[in-house]
Structure 1
Amino acid sequence: MAKWLNPIELEGNLAKLIPLEEVDRSEVLQAASDGNLWELWYTSVPSKDNLDAYVDFALQQESEGLALPFVVIEKSSGKVVGSTRYCSVDAPNRRVEIGYTWYAQSVQRTGINTECKYLLLQHAFETLDAIAVEFKTNFFNFPSRNAILRLGAKQDGIIRNHRIDKMGNIRDTVIFSILNSEWPAVKISLEHKMKKKYS
């Protein structure tokens, strides 16, 4: 039986999403160093200390058909400026999560995130025929929560005491989703936002 999720490159006006590979480690660390993103206690960004574990886990999940990790390339500079992935893959039910997303501080609020989410959502709904795309974030990650809402996702709920993080804190996780029936309206909204950003 063919795999539901296969490596693919996705390209927009500002960015390209390219499958993460072993050779990308130093570029991923350099991007995360732009703003020392690992200092954000409520999110998971690779640092010098956990880079290998971060990449190894992503590639292991990909080999098991549970994820498809990407590096984000800023087209104007050709540099890796972040990472994101399809994860929590539920192929029989055609559901997938977009997560593990972070961007170098210098490209935050540039429109790259909106474009990357658009490309991932478009591929999920129009090529993979997903019935739902999920987003999850830490309750205290208010920038992420607001960004997910701005995409057009709706909050499904909060899982209390969902996980214990690397510092031993118990995390509440907020879950959002976009359904296939909602995608046409979300798509128009995102295209309008991107058009405004480019013009």
Structure 2
Amino acid sequence: MLFTDPVPLENEHVRLEPLTPAHAEDLTDARTGLEYAWYTAVPASVPDEIDRRRAEHRDGRMNPWAVVVDGRAVGMTTFCDIDQANRHVEIGYTWLSPSVQRTAVNSAAKLLLLEHAFERCDAIAVEFRTAWHNRQSRAAIERLGAKQDGVLRNHRLGPEGSLRDTVVYSILPHEWPGVRLRLQAAIDRR
């Protein structure tokens, strides 16, 4: 299976559906109350962001999903920076409604994405990236069991011109069984 195959993924806590314009209304509602710092962003226009992600999918660079709970889209996530030839993919561009933050939803979604990457797409590395200053995201990635590969200094320019250092993490196939157990334990605790 390819990283770009648009397939639904589901467990008892969450359903990841290939992202479509039909998700726009729910996702616009889900953005309410999101507070983002200068080092991260949430789309100003959900329909435009859906179109952007779908265009990236058509070009083979991204596979976007809507995160669905109880029949309503509550966020987005993707496979991005897809390198099919080298069986390498990043999980990123994820945001969730405040209504599902600190619940089992994010862990359950990551479990689905990692299962898909390692067990169906035969990944040899799954990467996560976040801004150096995004301590909440860094802590969440580290709780998954991902290992820090390094920091890309002055990696990107922010919308207001600030320089972003990007922290790179990864999970390798031999680490996946332990990560799976850690994720399942985190889900069971919630």
* TM-score, normalized by the shorter chain, greater than 0.5: yes
Indicate which of 21, 26, 49 corresponds to 1:54: 49
Runs of 5+ consecutive residues of structure 2 not aligned to the other structure: none
Indicate which of 69, 84, 92 corresponds to 2:64: 69
* Match in the other structure for 2:29: 30
Taking a change above 3 Å as real, the CA distance of residues 186 and 3 of structure 1, as seen in their structure-2 partners, is closer
CA contact (8 A) 1:88 1:97 kept: yes
Q: C-alpha distance in 1, partners of 2:67/2:11?
A: 11
Matched, 1:172 2:171: no
* Match in the other structure for 1:156: 149
- Secondary structure in 1 matching 2:64: strand
Matched, 1:125 2:118: yes
Q: C-alpha distance in 1, partners of 2:121/2:167?
A: 25
CA contact (8 A) 1:29 1:46 kept: no
The one-letter code matched in structure 1 to 2:42 is V
Offset, 1:53:
3.4
CA contact (8 A) 1:3 1:65 kept: no
The one-letter code matched in structure 2 to 1:44 is A
Offset, 1:191:
1.6
The one-letter code matched in structure 1 to 2:72 is K
Question: Percent identity of the aligned residues?
Answer: 44
- Secondary structure in 2 matching 1:120: helix
- Secondary structure in 2 matching 1:105: coil
Offset, 1:119:
0.5
Q: C-alpha distance in 2, partners of 1:160/1:4?
A: 28
Indicate which of 89, 98, 115 corresponds to 2:82: 89
Offset, 1:4:
4.6
Q: C-alpha distance in 2, partners of 1:79/1:51?
A: 15
Provide, for residues 62-95 of structure 1, a one-character-per-residue CA deviation record: whole Å limited to 9, x for no partner: 00111111111113xx221111000000000000
The one-letter code matched in structure 2 to 1:148 is I
Q: C-alpha distance in 2, partners of 1:22/1:46?
A: 14
* Match in the other structure for 1:42: 39
Q: C-alpha distance in 2, partners of 1:12/1:81?
A: 16
Q: C-alpha distance in 1, partners of 2:52/2:37?
A: 20
Runs of 5+ consecutive residues of structure 1 not aligned to the other structure: none
* Match in the other structure for 2:186: 193
* Match in the other structure for 1:11: 10
Q: C-alpha distance in 1, partners of 2:137/2:3?
A: 28
Q: C-alpha distance in 1, partners of 2:73/2:48?
A: 19
CA contact (8 A) 1:44 1:100 kept: no
Matched, 1:108 2:101: yes
Tell me the TM-score normalised to structure 2 length: 0.94
Provide, for residues 127-176 of structure 1, a one-character-per-residue CA deviation record: whole Å limited to 9, x for no partner: 00000000000111100000000001011110000000111111000000
Offset, 1:196:
2.6
Indicate which of 145, 155, 164 corresponds to 2:138: 145
CA contact (8 A) 2:14 2:69 kept: yes
